């Protein structure tokens, strides 16, 4: 018979996926979109440390993809690199509300994570 072990309340991968996905979906809300994504990702992370670490992964990946796309589309590589770095800086500006939301979500995460009630050993036939 398998023993049920308590699972940790959060997941780094889930936090990164939720933050990155919601940031891309809510791009049309300049400050509120990353803030909502940060709160959801912070709750999924469960702890402030995981939430803060998870903030920078989608920001860096989105900035790198924007830089690569702009560099590819430019006729001259140095201009493309310069424009790509500018796109990366713009992507990193979303880190401020994302970080604030992630910390807030992680602080309030225990309110959202339910723990099952303690049950004693099973007896019976």
Residue 8 has what DSSP assignment? P
48-73 and 77-92 are packed helices; what angle lies between their axes, rounded to 10 degrees?
Answer: 150
Place of tokens 């398998």: 2
pLDDT of residue 51: 93
Residue ranges of domains in the chain: 12-112
Cβ atoms within 10 Å, residue 24: 12
pTM over cut 0.75: no
12-25 and 48-73 are packed helices; what angle lies between their axes, rounded to 10 degrees?
Answer: 50
Query: Which residue from 119, 124, 125 is spatially nearest to 3, judged by alpha carbons?
Result: 119
pLDDT string in tens for the chain (125-residue length): 566 665 666 789 999 999 989 988 998 898 899 999 999 999 999 899 999 999 988 878 877 888 888 888 887 778 888 887 887 787 778 889 999 999 999 999 888 766 666 666 666 55
């Amino acid at each position: 018979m398998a023993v049920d072990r308590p699972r940790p309340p959060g997941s780094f991968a889930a936090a990164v996926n939720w933050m990155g996905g919601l940031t891309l979906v809510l791009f049309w809300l300049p400050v509120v979109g990353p803030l909502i994504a940060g709160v959801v990702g912070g709750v999924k992370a469960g702890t402030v440390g995981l939430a803060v670490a998870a903030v920078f992964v989608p920001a860096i990946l989105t900035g790198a993809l924007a830089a690569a796309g702009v560099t590819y589309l430019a006729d001259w590589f140095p201009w493309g690199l310069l424009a790509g770095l500018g796109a990366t800086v713009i992507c990193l500006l979303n880190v401020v509300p994302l970080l604030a939301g992630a910390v807030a979500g992680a602080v309030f995460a225990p309110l959202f994570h339910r723990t099952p009630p303690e049950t004693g050993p099973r007896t019976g036939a």
